[in-house]
Structure 1
């Protein structure tokens, strides 16, 4: 039975090796689709970052989105949470503060340290950017059935679950 996955058209007849050829082709097709998903996600992230603020690097939107979700924090905690080095994070935080996207205040337990959080303008920009991002995402799945959505959600959950637990 032939099926099509992305640009692959596969014949699902088994081989003398018990179907290993078909399985390998399916695994390769899955890899292609995962790569396409990652590329599409990266492109959407770049667009989102530009929508957030055209004068900032895309990594600034990751910082802003994290602060939007988790609230004010020390720059070192933000750097660790978003997977950036402290120097780059500090530079972006400084730029974001100069654009009035972030507020800062002394840390209550150590006056030498600061806590940064989104300013009102920063929160509005993140919310607007996430709304635009959501529109793009939902436009892609608006015609999908609930069964398709549930199945993809289940399969992605299985793919991304921590198998060591």
Structure 2
């Protein structure tokens, strides 16, 4: 396949992913947190434990801004820092029990909306979607680290 054509398909796909993500996540976050804080919690929920710099890189935020938002989330008992025994200088961040409960509730709402979107999809198409997601994840969206 022509790689330029493939790139154009990729751009269209990622744009559609952003549109659908916005649609199925509308109104799932708590009113007690900002959209930026929600995105940090969402990242923590799927990637924890992570470092401050990983959050900063992934969220396209400066380190001071990331640190400030994490402090606010920590004050709300939604995340916590901890050191690893091998290297006490290195701090990791993870969801607290309250943060995990909040994200479980958010993901439950997102799952309900996702299942509504695919409710009329055939079993064969569901299998193909699953395989396509596996290929995309391993070949395109992996970190390469």
2:46 to 69, 77, 80: 69
The answer on whether the counterparts of 1:105 and 1:116 sit within 8 Å (CA) in structure 2 is yes
Q: Which has the higher contact order (CA 8 A, sep 6+)?
A: 2
- Aligned partner of 1:119 in structure 2 is 96
Deviation for aligned residue 1:89: 1.6
Distance 2:66 2:35 in 1: 12
Instruction: Determine which structure has more spread, i.e. the larger CA radius of gyration.
Output: 1
CA pair 124-155 structure 1, distance change in 2 beyond 3 A: closer
SS in 1 for 2:27: helix
Distance 2:93 2:79 in 1: 6
Number of aligned residues: 131
Distance 1:143 1:44 in 2: 17
Distance 2:55 2:79 in 1: 13
Distance 1:70 1:37 in 2: 19
1:43 to 18, 23, 35: 23
Where do 5+ consecutive residues of structure 2 fail to align? 1-7, 141-145
After superposition, where does 1:14-53 map in structure 2 within 5 Å?
31=12, 35-48=15-28, 50=29, 53=30
The answer on whether the counterparts of 1:46 and 1:58 sit within 8 Å (CA) in structure 2 is no
CA pair 153-60 structure 1, distance change in 2 beyond 3 A: same
CA pair 66-35 structure 1, distance change in 2 beyond 3 A: closer
CA pair 35-76 structure 1, distance change in 2 beyond 3 A: closer
Deviation for aligned residue 1:97: 0.8
**TM-score, normalization: structure 1?**
0.61
Distance 2:46 2:136 in 1: 25
SS in 2 for 1:96: helix
Distance 2:70 2:122 in 1: 42
1:96 to 68, 73, 90: 73
- Please report the RMSD computed on the Cα atoms of aligned residues, expressed in angstroms: 3.2
Where do 5+ consecutive residues of structure 1 fail to align? 1-26
